[in-house]
A and B are shown apart, each in its own frame.
Chain A
Amino acid sequence: MKIMTCPLNGPRNIQEFQCGGPVKAMPGAQDSDTAWADYVFLDENPRGFVREWWCHLPSSYWFIAERDTATDAILKTYPASELFAPEKTVGGSQ
């Protein structure tokens, strides 16, 4: 069984988690439909390092996980507040 460490709940079976896709910057309201379509529908799917949203389903807790897609190793998990200011709900800082 693969284990992921939830920043809130500790080590848990990977079955308790759901991936929410890569962390990326949200376009602004003035940006084009193309930019929004790219944001909503398209992902880079790179080989190697990725930074993603994950959710621990029993506690509905969303956090950030860094993975290597080549080795499928989970490199690091941490609260989203480490990446985003508490009052800031949009935007990315990759």
Chain B
Amino acid sequence: MIKYARIFLMRYETGLIIASVALVYFWPQLMANLLSSDYMPHGNCYFWTPDLVWLHVISDSLIGLSYWAITFTLGVLVYRTRKDIPFARMFIAFAIFIVTCGTTHLMEVLTLWDAYYWLSGGIKLFTAIASVATAVALPPVVPNIILIIKDAKLSEERRLRLQSANEDLQREILERKKAQEEITRLNASLEKRVHERTSQLEEANRQLRAEIAQRKKAEEEKEDLLNSERRRAAELNAIFESLPDAVLVGDETGIKKANTVAYELLGIESLEEFNDVASNFYDKISARFSGSGEKVTTRNMPFSVALRGEKVSSEIELINLKTGNELVIRTAAAPIKMDETVIGAVAVNTDITEKKKAETEILRLNETLEQRVLERTEQLNETNRELEAFSYSVSHDLRAPLRSIDGFSLALLEDYSDRLDEQGKNYLNRIRKASQRMGTLIDDMLNLSRLSRAEMKLQDTDIALMAEEIAEDLRRNEPARNVKFIIHPELIIKADENLLRIMLQNLIGNAWKFTSRREEAVIEIGKASIEGKSQFFIRDNGAGFNEAFADRMFMPFQRLHMPSEFEGTGIGLAIVQRIVHRHGGSIRAEGKVGEGAVFYFYF
């Protein structure tokens, strides 16, 4: 309805404007005389009665101005509320109608003095059209306006109801606020209590946490302890298993634990086999004590002895149940004590079969060896005895005939010289010489053989002192000789004094002998470091020797000179070498024919 009204009004407006313009424009003479004032001013009608004039002027001015003001206000209102207010065009129609009415009144004032009646009429016409149009347009709008008013009324009621409800609400809010305050108050107290309780709880919590931490720590410690215990137990077990010996641990109820080596040594699968007294385990393995051969029983076995508190070690022969091999084991058993009480025993069994075998073998070998040594010693003793008898026989029986030869030869020479010619005497003298020489040879041989058997007593001996004595002896024997001895002082050597003397007598005697053709003989005895070794030497400037025979010189009865040149049996250096060897030493000779010789030796 309103919509239709609006459409109608729109058309109406347009039409009205067109009609107004058309009427004004086409009204006769209006446009031509619009601004003519050829007529008599309207005041004249009032005869210029001032009161009347002023009455009209003031009234019309106020009306006109009011109408304009109203129009302005309406314009502003419509402009401001053009979206919310229905019938906005109606208001514009009213506005036009009112402003034209106002203008009409203002024109009444103007025409009092200036007679613009045409203009005034035109405006009136415009006003008339606007009024008519408004009058015509208004009725269809009324129901809408009534509706609006009704709505407004309804709104008012609602507003009132709303206000009442609002008040109720306000009240309720107040109550609630009060309740809230009460609650807040209660809350505060509650909060306080909660706070107190919370702190109590927190304290309790803290204690609880501390306790938990403590318990946890204790638990961890316990766990750690348990772990380390377990580890130690595992370690102990590992050690137990790693032992190379068979170890059995138990108490009077039997063996409780054994390592793998023990199972293998005995050839058993389970400890029950061992502990089963009825099956008499020791009979099964034919266990006997080594040596005595006594049977091993549950009563006398080392383990049982250890259970009685004694330490015991014995060797047992037995048969491995699995392999059937005969074994010898050494069982060492000891009681396990805690606080002086025997709580069990441990037996350590070492397989000594191989060792025993080796021992037996060694014993056998030893016996054989001993037997052989005995035999050998006996042989040697026999040889020695034979040698002794031989040398005795040599010393006695070989010399006796020589004595006869020499004795009777001399007897012939002395007692029968008158019956012998020179040739015969010469022969007898040769016989004597030969027999005497043979006597010397025998003596030398005996001396040599005696050297090998003579007991030695080693002690520090001064070669220098001994050499002086020997030199003295030699000088005394042959005072005519001119021999210069250079003997270095303190030539200490660890030797058997007697043997050393014999040796030096030979060496210095040789030097003395082989320098006999020197006018100025020099014999030097001293010590020198040769080839990194401290060696003693005896040097002479005598006849010397051919070094090619240096080694041969030390052989018995080997001579490098003619007997006519130098006397000797050739045994001297053999004796020297024998003595050096008996002292574990070494001797060698250097020399040059005609220039002398030097003998180096060390023990």
Do A and B associate with each other? no
Interface residues, chain A, CB within 8 Å of chain B? none
> B interface vs A, CB < 8 Å?
none
